[in-house]
Amino acid sequence: MNTIPHAPYIELDGIAKRFGEVTAVDGVSLGIRKGEIFCLLGASGCGKTTLLRILAGFEQPTAGRVLIDGQDMAGVPPYERPVNLMFQSYALFPHMTVEKNIAFGLEQEGLPKDEIRRRVADILDIVHLSEYGARRPHQLSGGQRQRVALARALVKRPKLLLLDEPLGALDRKLREHTQFELLNIQQQLGVTFVVVTHDQEEAMTLATRIGVMHRGRLVQVGAPREIYESPATRHVADFIGSVNLFDGVVASGGADHVGLLCEDLPVPVFVDQALGAPVGERVWVAIRPEKIRLSHEPQPGPENLARGTIQDIAYLGDITTYVVRLESGRGMKVTRANAARRGVDDFARGQAVHLGWDPSGPVVGRD
């Protein structure tokens, strides 16, 4: 695997972009390291694609600056930047063969024919399409077309490759397979990738680090595990994965724990987390469904407990999801891994059940 130095290779310094009275990007500062796959993740309209277009040079920031490998990109047009952009549509030329599609950019640069042939052959080998060079795009599968588009972008050896929803046109099974292919190709070539996606699973699979965007701002940056297990804001907790969110009030606290009272839960919630919030402050608490125990019998302990009735059950193969209607009327999701192939689910709709979770499971926030 490539080693990733800590010095920023791409720097975004106070980037803002306004379209009339609409602020699409609002003061984003970010450092991306050489050789990493960085994912900009967020819902439609959050500003992630605008930020990608600013990196590519297709949009000029209203404020701030972009540096790539120490060079300020102010005034540098897209075709002179050490950047290539791969679109979701792939934009392959239908009348050209795979080889011609990949060679097009090199021919535009006027490289010698022998050099072009060598580089096209090398990149076809890397993307496992050497035997498809004479075919045209309509003779390829969706995943193969995606790899041709990737090869065309990489054959020019950019310092930075920008990918806008690169796998969005693929079906789920092919998308999962292609995610790992993309990882392997990136590790072979060492090119820095910046990926824009609204697909959380795609970001979690591909990224070295993820930047979550919301309303034009970068609200949290971190490794996938950090983003999932330690969300910095209520929005991140709610946006990433499945979660049970409750409003609460701080009842007690210490150097490494906090106790909460939540209106929708019958007993206090105790969390192994230093919060520093005074007693009486309103907070939120997030509890992931997989961290909750489901049982027929009452669970021990005076805290982190709830009771309810199973309202819905969804068998999803690897897991089963239960929606439990609490005594307060709130629904709470619980998931259980289906570890045994012939296991029999001993829970049914309408059954009364007990819930419990460890203090290390929830996350508490103040925003």
pLDDT tens figures, 50-106: 999 999 999 999 999 999 999 999 999 998 999 988 876 778 899 999 999 999 989
Taking the CA of residue 117 as centre, how many other CA atoms within 13 Å lie in the half-sphere pointing to its CB?
Answer: 3
What is the SS3 string spanning 148-175?
HHHHHHHCCCCCEEEEECCCCCCCHHHH
Q: Do the beta carbons of residue 242 and residue 331 sit within 8 Å?
A: no
Strand partners, 323: 312, 333
User: What local confidence, expressed as pLDDT, does residue 340 receive?
Assistant: 81
How far apart, in Å, are the Cα atoms of 257 and each of 197, 225, 362? Answer: 35, 21, 11
User: What local confidence, expressed as pLDDT, does residue 79 receive?
Assistant: 87
pLDDT tens figures, 123-166: 898 888 899 999 999 999 888 888 888 888 888 888 898 988 87
pLDDT tens figures, 11-23: 999 999 999 999 9
User: What local confidence, expressed as pLDDT, does residue 3 receive?
Assistant: 46
| Structure token digits, residue 182 | 């993309």
pLDDT tens figures, 308-321: 999 999 999 999 99
User: What local confidence, expressed as pLDDT, does residue 1 receive?
Assistant: 41
Residue 6 has pLDDT above 70, yes or no: no
| Structure token digits, residue 72 | 């300020």
Q: Do the beta carbons of residue 42 and residue 210 sit within 8 Å?
A: no
- pLDDT bin (cut points 50, 70, 90) of residue 324 is very high
Strand order in the sheet with 22-33: 22-33, 8-19, 63-68, 71-72
- pLDDT bin (cut points 50, 70, 90) of residue 174 is low
| Average confidence (pLDDT) over 187-198 | 88
What is the SS3 string spanning 104-139?
HHHHHCCCCHHHHHHHHHHHHHHCCCHHHCCCCHHH
The secondary structure of the chain in percent helix, strand, coil, rounded to multiples of 5, reads 25, 35, 40
User: What local confidence, expressed as pLDDT, does residue 2 receive?
Assistant: 45
Full DSSP string of 328-356: TS-EEEEEEE--STT------TT-EEEEE
Q: What are phi and psi of 309, to 5 degrees?
A: -125, 135
Show the DSSP H helices in the chain as ranges: 48-56, 98-108, 113-126, 142-154, 172-189, 200-206, 224-229, 234-239
Q: What is the DSSP letter of 127?
A: T
Q: What are phi and psi of 352, to 5 degrees?
A: -80, 135
Residue 341, class by beta-carbon neighbours within 10 Å (0-12 exposed, 13-18 middle, 19+ buried)?
Answer: exposed
């991140």: which residue's tokens?
236
pLDDT tens figures, 203-255: 998 899 999 999 999 999 999 999 999 999 999 999 999 999 999 999 998 88
Q: Which residues contact 320 (CB under 8 A, 6 or more apart)?
A: 313, 314, 335, 336, 338, 345
User: What local confidence, expressed as pLDDT, does residue 255 receive?
Assistant: 84
* C-alpha 207 chain-centroid distance: 7
pLDDT tens figures, 255-310: 889 999 999 999 999 999 988 889 999 999 999 999 999 999 998 888 999 999 99
How many residues are present in the chain?
Answer: 367
Helix (H) / strand (E) containing 305: strand 305-315
Q: Do the beta carbons of residue 210 and residue 225 sit within 8 Å?
A: no
For residue 142, give the amino acid letter.
Answer: G
